Chains A and B, each alone.
Chain A
Amino acid sequence: MSDFEPTIIAFVCNWCTYTAADLAGTSRLTQPPNVRMIRMMCTGMVDPKYVIKALLEGADAVLISGCHPGDCHYINGNLKARRRVKLLKEILPRFGFDQRRVKLTWIGASEGIDFANTMNELVAEVKELGPNEVRKQMVI
């Protein structure tokens, strides 16, 4: 195994995934330290440019995670996020970003175990993928 430690930026919603992360923490579940979480009120406010910026700055993957469909605190923000992720997965791979570097998941407030498992799997997957090409390039 290489000693590559990926940097992963996670935009998580206040009501579901952030709460799940909190639960995972208070339940003392083991999680990798590679994920930097940014708490948003809703995944529906994650502008595509946040994801683009993170990847251009050298993040190895970006996770967007919110409430399950039907559970959104703002009724449908997560469904809007899903369209934006669809858009990003159309655009970014055409410029050489592996589409696995952008991930969308639904993790509900009570799913602390799911959260910890998802983070562990994500980090393992990104380790496989290797570092984001941008790390070697002079891009801003």
Chain B
Amino acid sequence: MATTVKIPIKDQNLVSSLQDFFKAMLRDGGINGLMVAQHLPTKNSVMPTLVTDPDKLDTADPLAPVFPINAAKVVSKLTRKPLGGKVAVVLRPCEIRAFIELVKLKQGRVDDVVLIGMDCLGAYSNVQYPDFAGDNGMEATLRFYRNIQEGKGTACDGFDVSPACKACEHPIPENADVLIGLVGVDLKDHLLAKANTPRGEELLENLGLSSTSEPEKRGKEIEKLVTERLSYRDQMFVETSEATADVGKLVSYLGNCVNCYNCRVACPVCYCKECVFLTDVFDHEPSQYLRWAKRKGILKMPTDTVFFHLTRIAHMSTACIGCGQCSNACPNNIPVMELFRTMAHYTQTAFDYVAGRSLEDDPPLSVFREDEFQEVVAKSH
């Protein structure tokens, strides 16, 4: 039976109560550090911070509805070699799932980290969040959750969470060591903390929190949330497939791409250390452009945009966890996430794979079997 405890809510303040929990964890949880998103004085957003001093958690706010980076990328940096200590990392479900993909690609290790996952109700885009938050980020977080508790959903003050979050069927961090539960929990009184693994148990056991069990309505509310998101997701698949159904449509869908490669940089699972699109393979001879142009009398510049996106789909769509950072990073508002999630759904289904589900599932293109996919081999005569 997994340990489930209550994180008490003081003064109806979710954010400060969580901070107290993290402080206690850093003091008594047997860890050397904690990585958690914080509001920083310089900028009106949150960024992951690696904290070793419990007094430096006063602006920690993993509930803020924004994540400017998929933190799997920084956890990968922390864990590519032995860390020399144990660090608890507070992540969204999509960040945990991305990290699991990176571990399978040998770009991170789970040995030195305890994964703390928060139920995720979604995030606003990087561009919208500062307007929503104004100059008091932590107050804005409370506003966001009050809105949800009042049954008004995630749309608040004319802003709403990003399409990636609306289409995300994984709001619960099932594969975290410690799950912090919000959905179906009486947030006026407490948050839920549940240890899913021995590592999680160890972290929670010395914090002196009173044990409880998952409220009955939690299961139903999760089911309702997932159903809503699946229906948004499936509609998105249909619309995106329609909008890119032939090459002409795909070209116009990606028409605003300027080869900035921000989507690739922001993508937590675009795993190549050196992207081929940055190598001299793509420093074409100037005369080559003229030859291309002559072929049809006109050449769109910059070149290689559709090629870039199709290659990225072939390379990483089986690892796509749908965090939507690609769309977040696009300067020209191309619905990148919609395209990649849709294609990822098809490629992952083809290999009976779900990215981020488990360390046990092999990435589809890293393995093969002798007798499989005979249907793609044509007969020779």
- Which A residues form the contact surface with B (CB < 8 A)? 48-49, 52-53, 56, 58, 65, 69, 76, 79-80, 82-91, 94-97, 103-107, 111, 114-115, 117-118, 121, 133-134, 137-140
B264 to chain A, nearest CB (A): 14
What are 27 contact pairs spanning A and B, CB under 8 A?
Answer: A49-B311, A52-B307, A53-B307, A56-B307, A80-B368, A82-B372, A82-B373, A83-B365, A83-B368, A85-B377, A86-B350, A86-B373, A87-B318, A87-B350, A87-B351, A90-B350, A91-B314, A94-B244, A95-B247, A95-B250, A103-B378, A106-B380, A114-B380, A115-B380, A137-B248, A137-B251, A138-B251
Q: Which residues from B are CB-within-8-Å of A65?
A: 380
User: Which chain A residue shows the least CB distance to B343?
Assistant: A91
Q: Is B155 an interface residue (CB 8 A)?
A: no
* Residue contact B376 to A137, C-beta cutoff 8 Å: no
Q: Is B280 an interface residue (CB 8 A)?
A: no
Given the interface contacts A69-B370, A138-B299, A139-B251, does A96 sit within 8 Å of B245 by beta carbon?
yes
Contact mask for chain B residues 233-268; partner A; CB cutoff 8 A; 1 contact, 0 none: 000000001001111111100000000000000000
B211 to chain A, nearest CB (A): 47
Query: A79 vs B305: C-alpha distance in the bound complex, in angstroms?
Result: 30
Query: A65 vs B118: C-alpha distance in the bound complex, in angstroms?
Result: 48
Given contacts A91-B310, A121-B381, 10 further A-B contacts (CB under 8 A): A52-B314, A83-B364, A86-B351, A87-B318, A88-B314, A91-B343, A104-B377, A118-B380, A139-B251, A140-B306
A107 to chain B, nearest CB (A): 5
Query: A115 vs B381: C-alpha distance in the bound complex, in angstroms?
Result: 7
Contact mask for chain B residues 286-326; partner A; CB cutoff 8 A; 1 contact, 0 none: 00000010011011100111110011011101100000000
Query: A118 vs B296: C-alpha distance in the bound complex, in angstroms?
Result: 32
Across the interface, B347 reaches (CB within 8 A) one of A69, A87, A118, namely: A87
B181 to chain A, nearest CB (A): 36
Contact mask for chain B residues 348-372; partner A; CB cutoff 8 A; 1 contact, 0 none: 0011000000000000110011101
User: Which chain A residue shows the least CB distance to B300?
Assistant: A138
Most chain B beta-carbon contacts within 10 A, residue among A52, A76, A133: A52
Q: Is B276 an interface residue (CB 8 A)?
A: yes
- The size class of the interface chain B forms with chain A is 35 or more
* Residue contact A106 to B318, C-beta cutoff 8 Å: no
* Residue contact B292 to A118, C-beta cutoff 8 Å: no
* Residue contact A106 to B381, C-beta cutoff 8 Å: no
Most chain A beta-carbon contacts within 10 A, residue among B313, B317, B343, B378: B378
* Residue contact A52 to B380, C-beta cutoff 8 Å: no
Q: Which residues from A are CB-within-8-Å of B305?
A: 140
Q: Is B159 an interface residue (CB 8 A)?
A: no
Q: Is B43 an interface residue (CB 8 A)?
A: no
Query: A95 vs B350: C-alpha distance in the bound complex, in angstroms?
Result: 16
Query: A134 vs B296: C-alpha distance in the bound complex, in angstroms?
Result: 11
Query: A95 vs B240: C-alpha distance in the bound complex, in angstroms?
Result: 11
B257 to chain A, nearest CB (A): 12
A112 to chain B, nearest CB (A): 11
Most chain B beta-carbon contacts within 10 A, residue among A94, A103, A104, A114: A94
Query: A107 vs B372: C-alpha distance in the bound complex, in angstroms?
Result: 18
* Residue contact A111 to B380, C-beta cutoff 8 Å: yes
Contact mask for chain B residues 70-89; partner A; CB cutoff 8 A; 1 contact, 0 none: 00000000000000000000
Across the interface, B370 reaches (CB within 8 A) one of A79, A90, A96, A107, namely: A79
Most chain A beta-carbon contacts within 10 A, residue among B241, B292, B365: B365
A132 to chain B, nearest CB (A): 9
Query: A124 vs B249: C-alpha distance in the bound complex, in angstroms?
Result: 29
Given the interface contacts A83-B365, A94-B343, A95-B310, does A49 sit within 8 Å of B247 by beta carbon?
no
Most chain A beta-carbon contacts within 10 A, residue among B250, B296, B317, B380: B380
Query: A89 vs B373: C-alpha distance in the bound complex, in angstroms?
Result: 11
